[in-house]
Structure 1
């Protein structure tokens, strides 16, 4: 067994990435403190061809060397937009036809492994989904939760029952990318 070379990985150019069909998912970062977490979400969004990233509130924005340190150039490929508040971002996304889901442990949350695209799309059969990742300490703001179509919870068995936002984003965005590939074509 051998590792693949960079040439064998068939990496897209920036222009090829921009022209590619995207996963109809937007990651919303609700007052994230860590630049490293922000950069990591950008890198994950690039890996799964996520449509965009919304940076909200005091979430750090590119360009910054500490974001770049973990993003490794993904801020140049992934479309991103800034909103002064997550509530504003949610209103804009809803107006644009997105179903809105918080990644949060809450009453009535749906386990990530129990989701399908039809559940995410909701009664309106929306084709685009926004997932909100909350602050490292306080999670998704209560005012934002009230605007969501629901909450998705990552099942956990250990003592802590919490994950770093960059880890949570990796898990959730991977699962949503799989759902799109497996289920999106069956949504009518």
Structure 2
């Protein structure tokens, strides 16, 4: 086994990324404090050809040196917008027939492994503040909630880890459904 060189990875150019068919997933980050978490979500979004990221509330925006440290250029590839009010973003996505899903621990949440994607459906995943999570108002407005099962003593995961887990799972399910 030999580790591949960067030149062997056949990475897309920014132009190729912009012109690629995107995974029908949108990320909504609401009141994310950590610039490193924001950058990490951009990098994950680039890896899985995510359509767009909405940065809401206090969530910082590019260009930003600290976001760039973890995004490593993904802020140049993944489309993004900033909005003050996450509730307006969720409402507007729903008007476009995009299924909105809060990633949160709530009553009657669907565990991630049990969530089934639908063919030709686009999904928006709402991730909340590192301490307070997705606001109750946003949870109520969303079409549903997905919970990542956790079996240890802690009851939460880092936002960038949660985003990576959920995006990977839904990417796999969407890929399988459309193959």
Q: What TM-score range do you get, normalising by the shorter chain?
A: over 0.9
1:45 aligned partner: 45
Please state if 1:133 is matched with 2:127: yes
Who is 2:100 aligned against? Answer: 100
1:78 counterpart residue number: 78
- For the residues of structure 1 that align with 2:134 and 2:178, how far apart are their CA atoms? 27
**Aligned match of 1:89:** 89
Q: Could you say which residue in structure 2 is the equivalent of 1:164?
A: 158
Structure 1 moving runs of 4+ over 3 Å: none
- Structure 2 counterpart of 1:178, from 166, 172, 175: 172
Mapped partners of 2:31, 2:177: distance in 1: 31
Q: CA deviation at 1:6?
A: 1.1
Q: Structure 2 length normalisation: TM-score?
A: 0.97
Name structure 1 gaps, 5 residues minimum.
119-124
The alignment covers a number of residue pairs equal to 179
Kindly report which structure 2 residues correspond to 1:139-150, keeping only aligned pairs within 5 A, or say none.
Answer: 139-150=133-144
Find the counterpart in structure 2 of residue 152 from structure 1. Answer: 146
1:27 aligns with 2:21: no
1:92: Cα distance to partner? 1.4
In structure 1, how many angstroms separate the alpha carbons of the residues matched to 2:53 and 2:45?
8
Unaligned runs of 5+ in 2: none
> How far, CA to CA, are the matches of 1:8 and 1:116 in structure 2?
35
**Is the Cα contact below 8 Å between 1:57 and 1:85 reproduced in 2?**
yes
Counterpart CA distance in 1 for 2:131 and 2:143 is 23
The CA RMSD measured in Å over matched residues stands at: 1.1
2: distance between equivalents of 1:168 and 1:60? 19
What residue number does 1:122 align with?
none
Q: Determine whether 1:54 maps to 2:54.
A: yes
Deviation at 1:97, TM superposition (A): 1.9
For the 8 Å contact 1:117–1:184, the answer to whether it is kept is no
